[in-house]
């Protein structure tokens, strides 16, 4: 697959997640899509009662033609969804695993 297809697939997945309702109305989801630098994030920000919350649910980059999953805080693994959408496993890097541990996954090492 071409990098442009990867961009479209990632954007679709991020935007779909951003539109899903969050159980707490005071928490906003933000889709951050930078196709020029190939950085894609899903953030959440807001308040849980009187406590501030801010964090990243999903962080994906495209580097050297491969999809790097830097953080995956989703219930259903984003790597699984990428494979279901036709992305070959050898084009997906689980960046949240150490370089040593990646050799034991079924995905690319770098």
Give the closest residue to 1 by CA, choosing from 96, 70, 67.
67
Domain span including residue 21 = 3-102
Read off the pLDDT of residues 29-78 as tens digits, 9 standing for 90 and up.
999 999 999 999 999 999 988 999 999 999 999 999 999 999 999 888 99
Question: Which CATH number fits the domain that encloses residue 21?
Answer: 3.30.310.110
Q: Is 109 within a domain?
A: no
Evaluate whether residue 87 is within a structural domain: yes
Any domain includes 107:
no
Q: Kindly report the length of the chain.
A: 110
* Total domains, the chain: 1
Tens of pLDDT along 65-102? Answer: 999 999 999 888 999 999 999 999 999 999 999 999 99
Nearest to 69, CA basis, from 100, 39, 61, 12: 61
User: 82 and 70 in contact (C-beta within 8 Å)?
Assistant: no
d(CA 93, CA 4): 17
């Amino acid at each position: 697959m071409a990098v442009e297809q990867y961009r479209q697939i990632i954007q679709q997945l991020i935007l779909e997640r951003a539109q899903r309702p969050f159980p707490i109305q005071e928490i906003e989801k933000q889709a951050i899509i930078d196709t020029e630098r190939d950085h894609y994030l899903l953030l959440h920000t807001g308040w849980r009662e009187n406590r501030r919350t801010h964090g990243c649910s999903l962080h994906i980059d495209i580097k050297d033609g491969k999809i790097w999953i830097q953080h995956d805080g989703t219930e259903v693994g984003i790597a699984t969804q990428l494979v279901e959408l036709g992305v070959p496993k050898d084009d997906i890097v689980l960046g949240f695993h150490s370089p040593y541990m990646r050799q034991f996954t079924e995905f690319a090492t770098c």
